[in-house]
Structure 1
Amino acid sequence: MGEDTAQSPAGAFGSPPAIVVMGVAGCGKSIVGKGLAATLGATFIEGDRLHPPENVARMASGEPLTDTLRAGWLDAIGQQVAASVSSGLSVVATCSALKRGYRDRLRGFCRGIVFLYLEIDPATARRRVANRRGHFMPASLVDSQFAILEAPEADEAALTLDAKRPVADIVAEAAGLLRKP
């Protein structure tokens, strides 16, 4: 893990209407997403709540999702993001968005999405997932997420921040970068 980086083909982000907080399980998507939405006065969409029950059951039993199983979930997130933006709202959503193809699918619903990638190492992610309560995702699936992870590339509108930092620091830095003109 390196330093935090901001990357964008256009340079600055200029208050994007849609932000997707992404990364593997345990990186802090939900807590950072909620904090960022509150800081920016945006609507918050918890991507995990949009998983169909069959997907939740599969993951709870330790079965990683395939691209096919993720497709409807990605579409549900993309549709909610697009509906919010169409209504004139800014939105912060959470979604693992582990592959470029997943991010492209979400961008198909809303071109202005900026991704906030919370970068974390496997050991920290496994520890965090193992210690959380009341979530369907077992720590045994963390490695399968790292196996398919494709970090955002330089041509994607994305910020990469170190997920091991304090949540308040991540939210403050992301909000500052996302508000730049």
Structure 2
Amino acid sequence: MRSSQQMRDFGVVQYGAPILAETARPFGLPDEQEGADTVIGQLLDTVGRIRRTHDSSGKGLGLAAPQIGIGRAAAVAQPPGADPIVLLNPRITATSTEMDEKFEGCLSFFDVRAPVPRPLRITVETVTPAGSTATTVYERGEALLIVHEIDHLDRLLLLNRMRPGVTPIPVEEYRKTAEGTGRAWSFE
């Protein structure tokens, strides 16, 4: 069974679905706290089911609400060996000029990998379910996970972030290349 079919079976919307091309609607917090909690619960449940089936221990795993068919501004990112990071109405307020380019995958088209340039440091503003604002700085691998998920909320896919002339490669080919050794992003 193809990986994309497995993701579809988990309820992950696949590439080409209209919801992936729509900007996610922010939550009005704290008034919509119950709805936000429900969406975060669904995201965490889906991530948990995927992690039990696919080893993401070295690279982490993330999922945005549009990827499970919900057009709201919520996402979770699960760095390796750490608690999930919950993102409600996230907004990147600063990025480093220092970039790195590594192969990325996406649960919404899991059969390919593509090299994507990403900032090594980002500052993100989120809203808590109680309605207060929180600002956090993420670096390296965590920055990759977070910016990838925020892109989903802004209707961008890793295909939109690749350099011109670069194309995704099948996951089988990726696994055979030097870049496909499974080396994780640095989460230090």
Instruction: Normalising by structure 1, report the TM-score.
Output: 0.30
Bigger proportion of residues as helix: 1
